[in-house]
Amino acid sequence: MKINTWFGVLETDRAGKILESRLLSKDVRELALHSLSLRDNRSDLSPEGFDLKAAALECGFVESSAEYYSLLHKITLEAAKLQVSGALTPDQRIIQAVEALDDVNETTNSLSERLSEWYGGYFPESGLAGEDLSLFIAKYGSRENLDPQDPLYSKARSSMGAKLEPADEVLLKGFAESVCSLYERRRQIETYIENSMELVAPNLKLVAGPMLGARLISLAGSLEKLAEFPSSTIQVIGASKALFKHLRARAPSPKHGIIYSQPLINTAPWWVRGKIARAVASKLSLAARIDFYSGKKDPSLTEKLETKVLLIRTLNPRPPQKKQESGAKPRKKRRK
Amino acid sequence: MAEVKKLSDGIFEVIKGKKQLATKNLDPGKTVYGEKLIQVEGIEYRTWDPRRSKLGAMILKKFNIPLKEDSKVLYLGGASGTTISHVSDIVSEGAVYAVEFSPRSMRDLIGLASRRKNVYPILADAGKPDSYSHLVEPVDLIFQDVAQPNQAEIAARNAIRFLKKDRYLLLSIKARSIDTVANPKEVFKEEVRKLEKAFEPGFEILNAKDLMPYHEDHLGVVAKLK
Ligand SMILES: C[S@@+](CC[C@H](N)C(=O)[O-])C[C@H]1O[C@@H](n2cnc3c(N)ncnc32)[C@H](O)[C@@H]1O
């Protein structure tokens, strides 16, 4: 019988004696690639209990046990490295970026609040917040340094804030610069995600927008998994808390997870949101599949979705009549 | 002064203030997961935290661990290599075939394997032993800690393919990975039944104990193919 091994192909007789062998050269990379090519191989597998090392010695591939193990060690390491580097696919990079963005946002918000709290003691009337405030502080430091053209000049002159001592000013300016660069970093990551989404999942980007699309990939774990999800799952991705509550305690099933941020859903009147969420989820699912399997951009996806949503809204112009609350005494139905 | 007591081949108890499970460090001076290094009479031991390792817990729960210096081990579900590092210490002249299917964990395993010549990393699904049958020789022990619903099946497939005659399978069963709401005792009973009956030729269960207080809702099992 024929047997595939990491070091070559063997031909054995019924008793397991090697009759013939085609051995590979002892090149680590070549052997590693060969080993990887055998992963999905279904034919000529070694029989149960086949002693690879004894065979490698018998056919003369290696001279000693020690040589066998040392070579096998090198090739398993090399093959695993090749596989791991191949695992960082473009969609995985997007996921890393999404996670980094979440971290940056969290840090930015808390540092930005700290800055506002801190500087508030020196210029409470500024009315600035977030990036504007950090840019202002990084530029001027003390409100006394404001130039007369600045719209805040008169407020600064009459401020009830304390005087900013030089040592505190140095500290605050440095802190503000860090916050500014975090805002900068945020934009940089967002741009990266937008550009990558256009390459990796153009249809998903089209239907969901770049950020929502990237978040869906991130929550699913990969574009492949997202493409495999039924649209009912996509509809509630990110609503896991509500979903578990629904499963455990028979709370109402969630109508939407993070896809709620899709404008078609969140601008619709409440009574059609569930229906629209379903329509959007089904287009998202289609988009993810096209992206994963073909990658061609299909601009008609959004048009079709918009038509569908318009139809839903036209067919349901008014909120439905309030249904009887369960638990309340059922009143007799009155007929006209 | 520290004192050392041998529990079984390659497995020790280092007594320095308190008793601690330990192995001889095959990679002197290096720690793997923040464990302690203790020198006794010129030999460096690495302490083994049973709370971070099902196998470590099994040893303290008095399971017999049939490992020798030159044993060949197939380790399924290697994660980042916490336990594998100790197995590698124990079988210093043997081999540990470390199967793990998460690329992220494999990154850590590769780091470990590049420092330890007896660790062979394999990125593969343990449920598909055919995909690594061209690499793995018959082994003296299979240790499995995959925390998957189909773990009995995974164990059977690998044992049939790779376990030498009359050698052992060590298994950690996590109740919650099978059924998140059922009573763990019921889950364990069912899993043991599966190991015994669900596959030809079936396993003979030699020992089965929970891993408390080190791991909640985990069962340690030692089995042999019938
Ligand atoms: C509980 S952890 C193992 C911890 C490890 N034994 C230790 O003590 O250091 C389970 C590991 O099994 C891996 N795993 C789960 N299913 C697997 C499969 N079918 N094939 C290979 N690895 C698997 C998971 O990725 C995870 O890293």
Q: Are A256 and A239 in contact (CB under 8 A)?
A: yes
Determine if ligand 1 sits within 6 Å of the CB of residue B144: no
Higher pLDDT, A324 or A189: A189
Residue A140: pLDDT over 50: yes
CA–CA dist B46, B44 (Å, integer) = 7
Is A43 an 8 Å CB contact of chain B? no
Mutating to test ligand 1, I would choose from B48, B86, B102, B216 the residue with most ligand atoms within 8 A of its C-beta, which is B102
C-alpha atoms less than 13 angstroms from C-alpha of B155 in its C-beta half-sphere: 36
Residue B133: pLDDT over 80: yes
Distances (CA, A) of B86 to A125, B22, B139: 63, 8, 18
Q: Are B140 and B166 in contact (CB under 8 A)?
A: no
Residue type, A274: G
DSSP string, B192-209: HHIIIIISSS-EEEEEEE
pLDDT confidence of residue A241:
65
**Rg over CA atoms, chain A:** 32
Residue A88: pLDDT over 90: no
CA–CA dist A237, A255 (Å, integer) = 10
CA–CA dist B38, B60 (Å, integer) = 19
DSSP3 helix / strand / coil % (chain A, rounded to 5): 65, 5, 30
pLDDT confidence of residue A328:
47
| Across B15-39, average pLDDT | 94
Q: Are A38 and B134 in contact (CB under 8 A)?
A: yes
In chain B, which residues touch A (CB < 8 A)?
A: 95, 103, 106-107, 109-110, 113-114, 117-124, 130-138, 160-162, 164
Question: Do B134 and A51 count as a contact with CB atoms less than 8 A apart?
Answer: no
Question: Do B138 and A72 count as a contact with CB atoms less than 8 A apart?
Answer: no
Each residue of B113-126: pLDDT tens digit? 999 999 999 999 99
Each residue of B49-88: pLDDT tens digit? 999 999 999 999 999 999 999 999 999 999 999 999 999 9
pLDDT confidence of residue A89:
87
| Across A87-112, average pLDDT | 93
In the stretch 10-29 of chain A, residues with CB closer than 8 A to chain B read: none
pLDDT confidence of residue B183:
81
Q: Are B48 and B214 in contact (CB under 8 A)?
A: no
Question: Do A42 and B118 count as a contact with CB atoms less than 8 A apart?
Answer: no
Q: Could you tell me the pLDDT band of residue B44, with boundaries at 50, 70 and 90?
A: very high
Determine if ligand 1 sits within 6 Å of the CB of residue B148: yes
pLDDT confidence of residue B119:
98
Q: Where are the domains of chain A?
A: 2-86, 90-195, 201-315
Determine if ligand 1 sits within 6 Å of the CB of residue B85: no
End-to-end CA distance of chain A: 86
CA B100 to centroid of ligand 1, rounded, Å = 6
Higher pLDDT, A134 or A258: A134
Q: Are B193 and B161 in contact (CB under 8 A)?
A: no
Residue A334: pLDDT over 60: no
Mean pLDDT is lowest, of A64-73, A89-98, A313-322, for A313-322
pLDDT confidence of residue A189:
93
Percentage of chain B surpassing pLDDT 90? 80
Determine if ligand 1 sits within 6 Å of the CB of residue B100: yes
Average pLDDT, chain B: 93
pLDDT confidence of residue A219:
92
Question: Do A69 and B118 count as a contact with CB atoms less than 8 A apart?
Answer: yes
Question: Do B121 and A80 count as a contact with CB atoms less than 8 A apart?
Answer: yes
Pick the closest to residue B158 from B117, B97, B207 (CA basis).
Answer: B97
Q: Hey, whose CA ends up nearest to atom 17 of ligand 1?
A: B146
Question: Do B110 and A81 count as a contact with CB atoms less than 8 A apart?
Answer: yes
Measured from the Cα of B99, ligand 1's closest atom is 21
pLDDT confidence of residue B181:
67
Determine if ligand 1 sits within 6 Å of the CB of residue B79: yes
pLDDT confidence of residue A250:
64
Q: Hey, whose CA ends up nearest to atom 15 of ligand 1?
A: B146
pLDDT confidence of residue A243:
62
Domain made up of A201-315: CATH architecture? Orthogonal Bundle (1.10)
Residue A333: pLDDT over 90: no
CA B19 to centroid of ligand 1, rounded, Å = 29
Q: Where are the alpha helices (DSSP H) in B67-102?
A: 82-90
pLDDT confidence of residue A335:
47
pLDDT confidence of residue A336:
41
pLDDT confidence of residue A242:
61
Average pLDDT, chain A: 89
Q: Under CATH, which number does the domain A90-195 receive?
A: 1.10.287.4070
Determine if ligand 1 sits within 6 Å of the CB of residue B86: no
Each residue of B165-186: pLDDT tens digit? 999 999 999 887 666 667 888 8
Determine if ligand 1 sits within 6 Å of the CB of residue B82: yes
Mean pLDDT is lowest, of A132-136, A181-185, B131-135, B201-205, for B201-205
pLDDT confidence of residue A330:
46
Residue A248: pLDDT over 80: no
